[in-house]
Amino acid sequence: MGKSDKATPVFGQELTEGQVLFGGEDIAGAPAVSMADLLTLPALESCTVIGGATGLDRPVSGVNIMEVPDVWEWVSPGQVLLTTGYPLRDAGADLTDLLTKVAAAGLTGLVLKPHRYVPEPDQATRDLADTLHLPLVLLGDGTGFDVILRQAHSLFLDRRAEALARSERILAALIDLVVSGGSLADVCSDLVVEVADAAFVTSMDGRILAHATGDGTDWTEVTALSCLDRSGRFKVEAEPASVVVPGPLSRLSVPILVRGRHEGRLVVLRRDGLDTWDVHVIGQAAATAALVLTKEAAVAAVENKYRTDFLRDALTGRAGDDHEVIQHAAALGWNLNRPAHVIVAQVGWQDRHPLSAADEQSFQERFARAWERSVHATDPAAPVGGYSHEVVVIIAATPGGTPEDIHRRVTTIAKAVRGEGGGGRRPFTTGISRTITTPTDLPRAYAEATRAAAVGKRMQGIGSITHFDTLGVFRLLSLVDPTELRQFAHETLGTIADDTPDAEDLRETLRVLLEHNMNVAEASRLLHFHYNTLRYRITKLEQRLGPITTDPHRRFQVALALHVLQMKGLDADSSTAPG
C-alpha cells in the first residue's frame, strides 16, 4: 500500500483533528482516488492543469457533469465537475463566479472544455484556482464526457476491489492468528506489517499489555508522546476514542469491546496519516484483540484459581510442610525458598462511586494484574494473588536490607500500579511484613502485613504504605483485642475520650504536653496559650485524669490511651485470611 505525503482521506475528506471515524458512518475501506490519480486516465492524459495544482492530492469521491446552471443541488462534496460551459453561455461566461461556486460546494476540481461556449480562463481565474487550491483543468477536443465517466467508474471499482481483496486477506490472517493461539503482541506485529509504524494494546485503564514497532521506529519515540504519562501508561481518560490525532506519529485509538464492555484500547500510529484502508483493518484488528483478550482471560481464570487457592493455603498454614510448599510453588513458577516479605494491598472502596458486582470483580482482576506486572518487572518469581478485597505479594527480601529499603521498593512498585492515578483507578493501602526465612512463617507475615495496612490506613489515610516494624507502639497495640483497647482508653481518659469539641480540645493540649515531657513553657508556646492559661488547663486535666505531672506511671497510661484513640475502628479494617 502506498503512503501519501500528508494525512490521507476518509469519506472524501482529509483527516483532521477531532474527526470521528467510527460510530455512525459505514467505512468501505477503499483507498481514496486523488485528483492526480484521475488525471492518469487515458481520457484525461492530454488535459492541462492551468491552476490550483497544489490541490491535486485532494480526494475524489465521484465525477459529475454540469448540464444546467443550478447544478449545485445535484453535486456532492469531493466530486469533480465536468463542463463545456454550455449552461453559462447566456450568463456572460463568468468563470470566476463558477470557480467560486465549485469551491463553496466542496468539489475537488473543475474540468473545462473551452472555446465552444466559454473562452479559455483568463489569468484572474487561474490565480483564483491557485488561491483556492482547486485544480482547474482544460480538456482538449475529441474526448467525450461519457468516456471519462466510464474510465473513472472503472478506477473507483478497481480501488474497491483492491480494498476488498486486501481486507479479506488480512481478515483471514487475523482469524488464523486467533485459531493458532496468537497473542496481543502478534496482533500488534501484524498491524505494523500492514498499516502502522507502531501499535500497542492497553488495558481499560491504559496500562500497555503488548506492543510492536516497525523498521525505523524506536519504542522510546512512542513512549515520549504526550498521550503516555511518565509511568508509560496510555492516558485513556484524556484520549478520544476512534478519533485521528495528527502529529509526527498520527494515532488512532479504538476501543476493544468484550461482551459490550470496554476492556482496553488498540492504538495505531503512523507517520504520514491514516487512510480508509487502515481504518478498516484497525477495526478488524480490534475485534481480533477482543477475542485474544477473551481467550487469555479464560485461560488466566483457570490458572489463577489454582495459584490463588495454593497461595491462600500457604498464607493460612494449610499447604503442607516447607518442602511441599517450596516444591509446589516452584511448579507454579514461584520461588518461596528464599527470605521474603509479604505485601498486602487493599483497595479503598468509595461509597460515592459504587460499582456493580460484575464491575467490582472486573476492577479487582485488573488491580491484581497491575500488581503482577509491576512486581514481575523486577522479581518474576514472586507469588502474586488477587482476592475479593486485596492483592497479596511475596517479594524477595534484599540481603541486609532495612525496613526503609523494602519500603522504598514497595513504594516504587505501588507507583507503577497507580500509573500516576489516571484511568479511573481507586486508591489502595499497602502493608509490609517483617522478613521471613521459611514458608512456615507465612501466616505470621501475612497477619503482620494485613495489620500494617490497617494501622497505616487509620494513621495516615488511604494510600499509605506501612512496614510492620515502623508501627512503634501501634505494632503492640494492634495485637490486642480492639474491645479491650477501647475499654482501656475510656476507663483511662473518662469524658476526655468523648467525641465532643471540648474533649478533642483537651486531648490536643494533653498530646502536646506529653510530647514535650510536661514542659509548660514549651507547650504554651506551641499551643499559643498564655503560660497561666495552660497551668489552669493542666489543673483541669489532673482533676479528671489524676496526677499526670508527678506520677510517671499514670502519665504513661494516659499517653497509651491517646494512642489507642488514634487507632479507633481498626477492627473494621482488618481481616484474618485472604478471600
93: cell is 461566461
The C-alpha atoms of residue 496 and residue 206 are separated, in whole angstroms, by 50
Q: Quick one: pLDDT band at residue 19, thresholds 50, 70, 90?
A: very low
Residue 262 zone, left/alpha/beta (φ > 0; ψ -120 to 50; rest)? beta
Inter-CA distances, 72 with 12, 69, 81, 105, 502, Å: 18, 8, 10, 7, 82
Instruction: Tell which wins on pLDDT, 448 or 261.
Output: 448
The C-alpha atoms of residue 235 and residue 259 are separated, in whole angstroms, by 23
Residue 202 β-bridge partners: 208, 265
Can you tell me the mean pLDDT for 309-324? 92
H-helix or E-strand containing 432?
Answer: strand 428-432
User: Which percentage of the chain shows pLDDT scores above 90?
Assistant: 26
Q: What are the respective helix, strand and coil percentages of the chain, to the nearest 5?
A: 50, 15, 35
Ramachandran angles phi, psi of 564, nearest 5°: -60, -45
CB atoms within 10 A of CB 161: 11
Say yes or no to pLDDT of 573 above 50.
Answer: no
User: Which percentage of the chain shows pLDDT scores above 70?
Assistant: 88
526-535 long-range contacts, CB within 8 A, separation 24+: 534/509
Say yes or no to pLDDT of 337 above 90.
Answer: yes
Angle of helix 276-315 relative to helix 184-194, nearest 10 degrees, comes to 160
Say yes or no to pLDDT of 380 above 90.
Answer: yes
Instruction: Tell which wins on pLDDT, 57 or 231.
Output: 57
Say yes or no to pLDDT of 318 above 80.
Answer: yes
pTM of the predicted model as reported, rounded to 2 decimal places: 0.52
Note whether 346 and 427 are within 8 A (CB).
Answer: no
Note whether 419 and 206 are within 8 A (CB).
Answer: yes
Note whether 281 and 167 are within 8 A (CB).
Answer: yes
Amino acid at 192: V
Kind of pairing between the strands at 62-65 and 79-83:
parallel
The C-alpha atoms of residue 471 and residue 459 are separated, in whole angstroms, by 10
Measured between its terminal Cα atoms, the distance across the chain in Å is: 53
Angle of helix 442-460 relative to helix 276-315, nearest 10 degrees, comes to 120
H-helix or E-strand containing 309?
Answer: helix 276-315
Say yes or no to pLDDT of 4 above 60.
Answer: no
Residue 431 β-bridge partners: 344, 466
Inter-CA distances, 45 with 48, 49, 63, 137, 381, Å: 9, 11, 16, 11, 68
Can you tell me the mean pLDDT for 467-494? 79
Nearest CA-CA partner of 107 in 132, 82, 79, 85: 79
Instruction: Give the max Cα distance, the chain.
Output: 120
Residues 6+ apart with CB under 8 A from 141: 113
The C-alpha atoms of residue 329 and residue 323 are separated, in whole angstroms, by 10
pLDDT tens per residue, range 174-184 = 777 777 778 89
Q: Quick one: pLDDT band at residue 210, thresholds 50, 70, 90?
A: very high
Can you tell me the mean pLDDT for 381-406? 91
Can you tell me the mean pLDDT for 151-178? 79
Residues 6+ apart with CB under 8 A from 201: 184, 187, 188, 208, 209, 210, 211, 256, 264, 265, 266, 267, 289
Kind of pairing between the strands at 109-112 and 136-138:
parallel
Quote the Cα angle for 401-406-412, to 5°.
140
Quote the Cα angle for 564-566-567, to 5°.
65
> What does DSSP assign to residue 233?
-
pLDDT tens per residue, range 230-255 = 878 899 888 888 888 888 888 999 99
384: cell is 502474586
Inter-CA distances, 433 with 430, 437, 461, 464, Å: 10, 12, 19, 14
Amino acid at 258: V
Nearest CA-CA partner of 166 in 282, 281, 60: 281
The C-alpha atoms of residue 22 and residue 20 are separated, in whole angstroms, by 6
Q: What is residue 269's three-state secondary structure?
A: strand
pLDDT tens per residue, range 386-395 = 888 899 999 9
The C-alpha atoms of residue 284 and residue 551 are separated, in whole angstroms, by 79
Nearest CA-CA partner of 85 in 70, 96, 100, 69: 69
H-helix or E-strand containing 559?
Answer: helix 552-566
Judge residue 499's burial from the number of C-beta atoms within 10 Å of its C-beta, 0-12 exposed, 13-18 middle, 19 or more buried: exposed
Nearest CA-CA partner of 320 in 433, 442, 437: 442
Inter-CA distances, 100 with 104, 107, 203, 344, Å: 6, 10, 50, 70
Q: Give residue for cell 505501588.
A: 414
The C-alpha atoms of residue 203 and residue 209 are separated, in whole angstroms, by 7
* Average pLDDT over all residues of the chain: 81
